[in-house]
């Protein structure tokens, strides 16, 4: 299991709320069938999908095998067509605490 964040941003002009092309992409069958696409790119599970509508940002959290494959997922799913996307390696807070304990034993 490896956790990654998919951190996305679009402009107000590209927002599906304001742009019919983006809205169509968001609502099309490919976007609604993310499980099928995600398996193809070794994304084991989409753990969360959070959006801030007026910030025009989103953060998805996935359990995946390879960030390069997440990149391909973002292209095929249409996410990357109207969003700038960062793929961020994540650990849990508990894992961070364990790392701090190893580096700075008390």
Return residues touching Zn ion (CB under 5 A): 15, 56
Give the residue closest to Zn ion by C-beta: 15
Least separation, in Å, of the C-beta of 16 and Zn ion?
A: 6
Give whichever of 5 and 16 is closer to Zn ion, judged by the CB atom: 16
Give whichever of 15 and 47 is closer to Zn ion, judged by the CB atom: 15
Least separation, in Å, of the C-beta of 9 and Zn ion?
A: 9
Q: What is the per-residue DSSP string for the chain?
A: --EEEEEEE--TTT-TTT-HHHHHHHHSHHHHTHHHHHHHTTEEEEEEEEEETTTTEEEEEEEES-HHHHHHHHHHHSHHHH-EEEEEEE--HHHHHHHHHHHS--
Least separation, in Å, of the C-beta of 17 and Zn ion?
A: 6
Give whichever of 1 and 54 is closer to Zn ion, judged by the CB atom: 54
């Amino acid at each position: 299991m490896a956790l990654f964040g998919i951190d996305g941003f679009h402009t107000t002009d590209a927002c599906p709320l304001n742009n019919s092309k983006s809205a169509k992409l968001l609502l099309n069958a490919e976007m609604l069938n993310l499980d099928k696409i995600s398996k193809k790119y070794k994304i084991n599970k989409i753990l969360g999908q959070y959006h801030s509508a007026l910030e025009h940002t989103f953060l998805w959290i996935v359990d995946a095998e390879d960030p390069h494959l997440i990149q391909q997922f973002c292209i095929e799913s249409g996410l990357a067509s109207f969003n700038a996307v960062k793929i961020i390696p994540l650990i849990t807070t508990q894992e961070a605490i364990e790392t701090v304990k190893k580096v700075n034993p008390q």
